[in-house]
Amino acid sequence: MSMAADGPDQPAHGKDQGPGRPPGTPSRREFPPAPVNPPLPPVPTTRAELAAIVDHTLLRPEATSDEILKLCADAARYGVGAVCVAPTHVFLAAASARRDSGGRAPGTEPAYAVASVVGFPHGNHLTAVKVEEARLAVADGATEIDMVIDLANAMEENWVAMEMEINQVRGALPDTVVLKVILETAMLPDATIRSACRAALAGGAEFVKTSTGFHPAGGASLRAVRAMHSAVGGRLGIKASGGIRTASQALAFVQAGATRLGLSGTADVLAEMPTAP
């Protein structure tokens, strides 16, 4: 795929290439090969084991505070690993997570992590906007950030720009905050998915994630998760998200390499799992 050359009339705040990119810097880069046969994650056998790798998600733009409170109450009851909400709901979700820790000793971890989306859902925000959005989300209590990449960088195979964007957001976050990058894998061929994952690794992300759930191309697929695992399995976490509605689907994604699952229908999925092995 070709990409337009940087011209002298490029707007200062147009296509964001990241600071400090010298003229003539190639937009593509080669990555070292992934390890052969990276290890697959363990497959959950019980409801609790599956819940522990779930990001219980509510990202509808019209979601109300009452719905967020219910999401969090359900998260505590199910024992999920995290909730995933929009930036405007992070403060409420983080307060709920602290409250839902219940009788735990003071200073212990909240009942679940709070993830905030950034650059959501289209990804074509300026990098500086994503940096500030992520910083504010962390200030409000987010401990995980799910950032949509500039999708054009993946379409153009502009891995330098993608890596720079991720690196700038990563650099604005405390080391304890987990950064996941959303690739919208439904619109990408396997080879591009693998290269995008390697750029995410080089940029400092901790996870790669399939989908926002809002793109018309679709959500998570086993094909995409297998490509992600072949590129960065064992080195980055892999989050499958978008269209996972049954326990059998959830387990299939783990068997393909997913280490985290984004679910909005968490109750239905967990209800299909046994409570004991």
Domains of the chain (ranges; CATH) run 53-271 (3.20.20.70)
| The pLDDT of residue 28 | 55
For the beta carbon of residue 115, count every other beta carbon within 10 angstroms.
28
Active site residues: 146, 209, 239
| The pLDDT of residue 157 | 97
| The pLDDT of residue 100 | 87
Among residues 262, 76, 108, the alpha carbon closest in space to that of 180 is found at 262
| Maximum distance among all Cα pairs of the chain, rounded to whole angstroms | 64
For 113-135, what is each residue's pLDDT tens digit?
A: 999 999 999 999 999 999 999 99
| The pLDDT of residue 58 | 98
Query: Alpha helices, DSSP H only, in 120-189?
Result: 127-139, 151-155, 159-171
pTM over 0.85: yes
| The pLDDT of residue 10 | 38
The segments of the chain whose pLDDT lies below 50 read 1-27
